[in-house]
Amino acid sequence: MPEADAIRLAQQGDAAAFERLYQLHNRRVYSLCLRMVGNTAEAEDLTQEAFLQLFRKISTFRGESAFSTWLHRLSVNVVLMRLRKKSAAETSLEEVTEPDEESGGPRRDFGAPDLRLSGSIDRLNLQRAVEQLPPGYKSVFVLHDVQGYEHNEIAEIMGCSIGNSKSQLHKARMRLRELLHEALRDKAREERKAAGGNLGAED
């Protein structure tokens, strides 16, 4: 069933059409949720919530924008709403706001120049580092660098200015670089410790 037909039939409450729309878009919506929350159970819950909202509102879809764009914006909003709730409930203000935000401008310290990320980061390392970002940075980074949204779209979705989106993205990348360097240093330390242990054992 083509998407346009599925949309029309779903607007009339046809179950097969709902299922078709779900099958067409579930991977992208679930992947977005998973990237933004980093937890499969929560990503499943958010995917269900996003599709529920979609199906509740589908009768209002008039086709002015692409259906997938509409759905993905709706999904992003569902995730952002959850992140906001979580950050309000679980995180203190200090944890959400990076220290440099108070003084304004990015940090001047670039980190140790001796460690190079080149050749040492992969998707998994990056994923772990992204999970440690404050919610605002994480959202902008995932939307822009991973999902491929433009700053004007992010500004619209998140209700902020384009400049703010750019600045958050820059700070997110800088923070990620720090986190990845920290992970590299930890790994190097562990390797040294293991090597020292092996030498000790040989003695």
Partner 1 sequence: MATIGCKDFPDYLEPWMEGDRHPDALAHVRDCPRCRSLVEDLKLIQATAQEWGRTESEPPAHLWNSLRAQLVQEGLIHQQSIRRGWLTGWLPSLPRPALAGAYLAAVIAVAFGLSGPVNQRINRARWLEGTQNSTTPLRAQFASAEMNATPPSLPDSNPTVTASLHNNLAIVDNYIVLCEKSVNEEPENELARDYLFEAYQQKADLLAQLSERGGDGR
Tokens of 83: 């992140």
Query: Is residue 127 within 8 Å of residue 38, measured between CB atoms?
Result: yes
Query: Is residue 43 within 8 Å of residue 37, measured between CB atoms?
Result: yes
Q: What is the 3-state secondary structure (H, E, C) of 159-174?
A: CCCHHHHHHHHHHHHH
Report helix, strand or coil for 40. Answer: helix
Nearest residue (CB) to partner 1, 45 versus 156: 45
The answer to the question of residue 28 lying near partner 1 (CB under 8 A) is yes
The answer to the question of residue 158 lying near partner 1 (CB under 8 A) is no
Nearest to 68 by CA among 126, 129, 118, 21: 21
**Separate counts of helices (H) and strands (E) for the chain:** 10, 0
Closest separation between CB of residue 49 and partner 1, Å?
8
The answer to the question of residue 156 lying near partner 1 (CB under 8 A) is no
Nearest residue (CB) to partner 1, 80 versus 180: 180
The answer to the question of residue 14 lying near partner 1 (CB under 8 A) is yes
Closest separation between CB of residue 93 and partner 1, Å?
21
Q: Which residues bind partner 1 (CB under 8 A)?
A: 13-16, 18-19, 22, 26-28, 30-31, 34-35, 39, 41-45, 47-48, 51-52, 55-56, 82, 105-108, 110-111, 113, 116-118, 121-123, 126-127, 141, 145-148, 166-167, 170, 173-174, 176-177, 180
